[in-house]
Amino acid sequence: MASILVTGGAGFLGSHLCERLLADGHGVVCVDNFYTSDRHNVAHLLDHPGFELLRHDITQPLFVEVDQVYNLACPASPVHYQRDPVMTVRTNVLGTINMLGLARRTNARILQASTSEVYGDPEVHPQPEGYWGRVNPIGPRSCYDEGKRCAETLFFDYHRQHGLDIKVARIFNTYGPRMQRDDGRVVSNFICQALEGAPLTLYGDGEQTRSFCYVDDMVEALVRLMDSESGFTGPCNLGNPEQVTVRELAERVLALTGSDSEIVHRPMPKDDPLQRRPVIDLARERLGWEPHVRLGEGLARTVEFFRAS
């Protein structure tokens, strides 16, 4: 079995990935600086003989011997990545360079957790991998959007220049247990507001669309992409093509929680995309993957997590 490095491994998605890799029999080195993550996400893994947790910021060099690298390290919600935008860019650029250097030194396969935000506020809908995007390079979201675009550039330059074995995943909205209460993402916002009896904040008219993928489905996709045939680099869209309006999401959360919270409207944030939906034909063809957890089922599990916590 492989020795696998997961950067950002104590985060929402990273902790679920670490759990899955250990269950598959691999050794896991989990690296995190705990800027937006929580040690409690991986506390149940600390006694596992195949698990090692390192507090480390990937903007600094890291020297470990591994067979695979999942590079997930980066604040992923607007609230967090806009808190220190320069740090967000440093993580996406310097951190990515450090992880690519580590992979080159150890001859490891490396996967980049990129994002649907590389498409910006798209003029093409739904978004296929061949679409180059519409991104504001100087806006409040650009530290993340352009940072992730630069990370993809670095991955493909290392692949062309050094023959590095790379995989690039473009991850669309993902949700589930272990999301942070204060991350500003729409699913966690609505659920926490509903459970607390607070108004649900809806930006704009609520007709903007999103596509939500449950975390277990996303982890399966990442593992399949990492283990896919050599030469298939991506980028590969990973997400749920089922599309809902943000208003519909709010109404579903109210129904699931039994909350009588009202819905209040706020102005749309700058550069917030109006439409987001992946074309996943490539994932279906090359990975044999598509999501299976329906939104209602996934939301119910997520509500129970927040209710218990």
How far is residue 226's CA from residue 240's CA, in Å, rounded to a whole number? 19
* β pairing state of 263-266 and 200-203: parallel
Residue 77 — φ and ψ, nearest 5°? -115, 150
Strand partners, 71: 7, 112
- Buried b or exposed e, range 226-256, using 16+ CB within 10 angstroms: bebeeeebbbbbbbbbebbebbebbbbbbeb
How far is residue 72's CA from residue 113's CA, in Å, rounded to a whole number? 5
- For residue 89, the surrounding DSSP H or E stretch is helix 85-90
In 3D space, the residue among 48, 42, 107 whose CA is nearest the CA of residue 72 turns out to be 42
Catalytic residue among 70, 81, 119, 144: 144
Tell which phi-psi region holds residue 31, choosing left (phi > 0), alpha (psi between -120 and 50) or beta: beta
In 3D space, the residue among 64, 58, 67 whose CA is nearest the CA of residue 99 turns out to be 58
DSSP for 205-247? TS--EEE-EEHHHHHHHHHHHHTSPTT----EEES---EEEHH
158 assigned to active site = no
Residue 88 — φ and ψ, nearest 5°? -60, -45
* Residues tagged active-site: 144
